[in-house]
Structures are given as structure tokens and as C-alpha cells.
A and B are shown apart, each in its own frame.
Chain A
């Protein structure tokens, strides 16, 4: 994954994004561009502003100022165009627990207007090795199984941009690895651009073409994982993260 990202028709463009909650500045002048089909990592300590940033890209949070463009469209006018072509998953955002896996997938397939929903759902559940959970209520699944259902939901509409907020947080190493494999595959298969956050540094290093490193809502550095590691004169991203966190005195808060 060393080829330079194609930024001519970017998947996501954020320009001078600011978000203030009352007096508190959660995101401070962030600008970045994610290329079509690029896997782009958002890295930062707890409270650094990652979830807030993703939320602004999904129109869940309105920026205080700055601009968002996804697949060339802007909110609120382009909301339908954007949201039908992107998707989102987070370990921390659950699906209705009383509904079975099948029922949940069926509902979201309808919301996204997925053709041949049955076939598509089975295909995704097979891919994530959870076909046997089909008839179980989501609330009865293990947390790793739940996470995989959320990921399957996020792929229903073959998104052009996929927003993943800590998608592997509850997965065992084997499943986390398989999930990364799936992310690589879908990125290849349908050229999906992925914006991912994770506190697993090795994962970010192996998965992301470029990473935006933020602290207290501000950009620290953007580059390939190697560029970032080299810049700080460390041997891996984990060391960089720890060094930055200590320099910042607990980078987030």
C-alpha cells in the first residue's frame, strides 16, 4: 500500500473544520482529504475529537464552522446522495438488541434500498462467519459477534465511503485480523474509501495508507505511517503515540 492516494476526485474533503460545544473546543481547524479508495486513519488519544470529526462527516453533528464534502456533495442539500453511498459502524453503536440478526439486516437493507437483500445478507454473514447467528436476537450474541453484525450492516449498500469508529475494539486477535482482511478486500473489490479510528497502533500501521494524527482536536501530523514514525524518530506508531501523549500531558483532555 505504498501508491500515492488519488486525490483528484476525493471521497471526503474537510476544510477548516471547527466544533465547539459551549466553551469547549472539540475539533480545532482540521483540514484533510481522503482519496477515492484510500484507507485513512484518524489517530489520537481519548477525547482527541475523532468521533466528533466522523460525526460531522455524517451530518450527526453540525460543524461550528468549516466545510465538509463527501463524494462531492455537501450537507444538507446532498444528504441523500451522500448517505445512500456511505455507511458507518462502531463497536459502541449497537443495533436493536431484541431483533434477530436477520431482522436487523432486513430492515437496514430496506432503508438502504439494497437489491436482492436476502442474497446480500447471507453473503455478508458468511464473510464474517456469523451465518449461524441469523435467527438469534442481537442481544444474545457475544460482543465480538455483535461487532461483526454491525460491520455486516455497514457493508449492505456496498458503500463508496465507510466510516469505522473503533471497529475492532471488542474482537479477539484472530477476528480482528480477519476483519482487517475484509476491510482490505472490500477496499479492493469496490474501491471503498475507509476512514477508520482505532487505538490499536499495529492495526493502524498495517491498514492505513495515510494517517491523520490529532491531539485536542488539532492536527499534529499527517502522512503515511512510516513518515510519522520517522518524523518522531521512533521505531513504530505505538512509541510515537506514547511519546506524543506524554509530551502533551495526556493529549486528549
Chain B
């Protein structure tokens, strides 16, 4: 029953995307644009490879993995936004679909989007810039998993904020995550940050993933400790995100916000 409801809502996203060329194209647009711009930067930087060994791999690896985190978060938030835009939340909330099942469907949709964009960006990184993401080996799967979980958590929090503040807050879906990018150690190690920010950085699952990635690309020791932190923190934030979503939902029912979904 539960699986059937999650399937039902997932089906809704398949129908929506299947019938919408702009939505499909958007999936291609960003990874291609990112890798075009950054790829040329990479080609340029290749001249200095002697001075900065592995920098190119760090940089492209960082780009590809950051995109996975970003897409995972956007996937969840956009699934929620699609219901806001189509004013469908009311129909969903009076159906037997549980809020957690709504979120599960959004997460499923998000994974599908990540799989699609990641295969595009991995292919471009490989074909155009000769960077094989898979040199990270099986660790790659773990890195991706940790980033997806973190993206889900953020996506859930952003959906809750949109529930609270209305459609006017929708830009959070594409913007909020950049607030943490400076401290997520995507393109440089945590050690370059001033000390107080380093503390913040170690609280972010993604920082551990990117540190772990550099460790692997460097041929260093196994990144198990980083991964444990990434998954541990990710799970904590995910649970906190869910709790936040439920609290906002409870408040929304008290304030009558579900009747006023939209602006």
C-alpha cells in the first residue's frame, strides 16, 4: 500500500517530465554549461600541472560531485514545488498519502534526476577533458551516496521553508545550498579555511566527502573515517530535516496555510 502510493506520486513526475520539453532540457542544460565553462578553465590550468599535481583531478572531481549534491537537493525541492505550482498539495493532503510518502516520492524523483545529470557530466568530463570519474573506484559510490543523503536533507528543509513562506521563497531551492559551498571544501581543502570556519566545515557532510575524494585521488589511505562522518552527519541532518518538515506542517495546519498554497 505504502509502496503503491509512493509509486503513484512518482508516476506523476514521470508524466510531468515526459510531457514537458523544457523540463527535460533543463536536465541537460546545467551540467553541460558547467562543464563547458569549467572544462576550458581546466584546459588552461593544465599548463601549471607541474606546480599543482592532481589539481585538475581535484577540480573536475569536485565539480562532478558538487553537482550531484546540488541536483539531489534541487530534485527534492522541485518535486515539492511542482505540487505548489500546480496547487495540488491540497489533493495530496486529503488523500491517504502520508507526508513521509510525499517526501519519499520526492527523493525517488531526485535520485532519477541525479542519475541522469551525473551520467551526462561524467561522460563530458571523460570525453572532453579526459577525466575519468571512475578512477575513484568503488569509493565513488559511497561518496555519491553520502552526497545524495545530504542533498535530500537540505531539499526537505527547503520544502518546509517554502511551505512556511509561500511560493515567494522558491528561489531558496536553487540558492540556499551556495551558502554552504564556501565551507564545503569542494575545490580546496578544509585546511585553507580560517580556524573557526574549519570547525563549521567539519560539521558538513560534504566537506568530508570532498576531503575523502582528494585523499583517494591522491592515492592516500582509505577515506573510511571521512565517509563515516559524512554518513553519520548526513543521517543526523536528514532526521533533523524531517522533524523540521513535520513541525512546519503542523504549524501550517494550525495557521490554515495549506488552503492558501501558492503565493
CA distance A163 to B7 in the complex (A): 26
One of B8, B9, B12, B253 near A99 (C-beta < 8 A): B12
Compute the total of residue contacts between A and B using a CB distance below 8 Å.
98
Check if A166 is an interface residue, CB within 8 A of chain B: no
Interface 1/0 per residue, B234-260 and A, CB below 8 Å: 000000000000000010011110110
CA distance A197 to B86 in the complex (A): 24
Check if B228 is an interface residue, CB within 8 A of chain A: no
Check if B5 is an interface residue, CB within 8 A of chain A: yes
CB distance from B23 to the nearest CB of A (A): 9
CB distance from A68 to the nearest CB of B (A): 12
Binds A, one of B13-21, B114-122, B173-181: B13-21
CA distance A61 to B11 in the complex (A): 28
The answer to whether A113 and B5 touch across the interface, beta carbons within 8 angstroms, is yes
CA distance A86 to B95 in the complex (A): 8
CB distance from A98 to the nearest CB of B (A): 6
CB distance from B247 to the nearest CB of A (A): 13
Check if B40 is an interface residue, CB within 8 A of chain A: no
CA distance A111 to B93 in the complex (A): 11
CA distance A108 to B94 in the complex (A): 11
Known contacts A60-B259, A110-B8; decide if A94 and B253 are in contact (CB<8 Å): no
Check if A107 is an interface residue, CB within 8 A of chain B: yes
Interface size class of A (residues with CB under 8 A): 35 or more
One of B19, B91, B250, B259 near A108 (C-beta < 8 A): B91
Check if A222 is an interface residue, CB within 8 A of chain B: no
Check if B199 is an interface residue, CB within 8 A of chain A: no
The answer to whether A62 and B87 touch across the interface, beta carbons within 8 angstroms, is no
Check if B25 is an interface residue, CB within 8 A of chain A: no
Shortest Cβ distance from B20 into A: residue = A98
One of B4, B9, B255 near A113 (C-beta < 8 A): B4
Check if B96 is an interface residue, CB within 8 A of chain A: yes
Interface size class of B (residues with CB under 8 A): 20 to 34
Q: Which residues of B from 55 to 97 have beta carbons under 8 Å from A? A: 82, 86-88, 90-97
Residues in chain B near residue A96, CB distance under 8 A: 12, 16, 82, 86, 88
Check if B46 is an interface residue, CB within 8 A of chain A: no
Known contacts A51-B259, A107-B11, A110-B7; decide if A60 and B94 are in contact (CB<8 Å): yes
CA distance A107 to B95 in the complex (A): 11
Interface 1/0 per residue, A20-31 and B, CB below 8 Å: 010000000000
The answer to whether B5 and A60 touch across the interface, beta carbons within 8 angstroms, is no
Residues in chain B near residue A220, CB distance under 8 A: none
Check if A83 is an interface residue, CB within 8 A of chain B: yes
One of A52, A86, A97 near B86 (C-beta < 8 A): A97
CA distance A103 to B19 in the complex (A): 11
The 10 closest A-B pairs by CB, nearest first: A110-B8, A96-B86, A84-B96, A103-B15, A62-B253, A107-B12, A111-B8, A111-B95, A88-B94, A83-B96
**Chain B residues proximal to chain A, CB less than 8 Å:** 1, 4-5, 7-9, 11-12, 15-16, 19-20, 82, 86-88, 90-98, 250, 253-256, 258-259
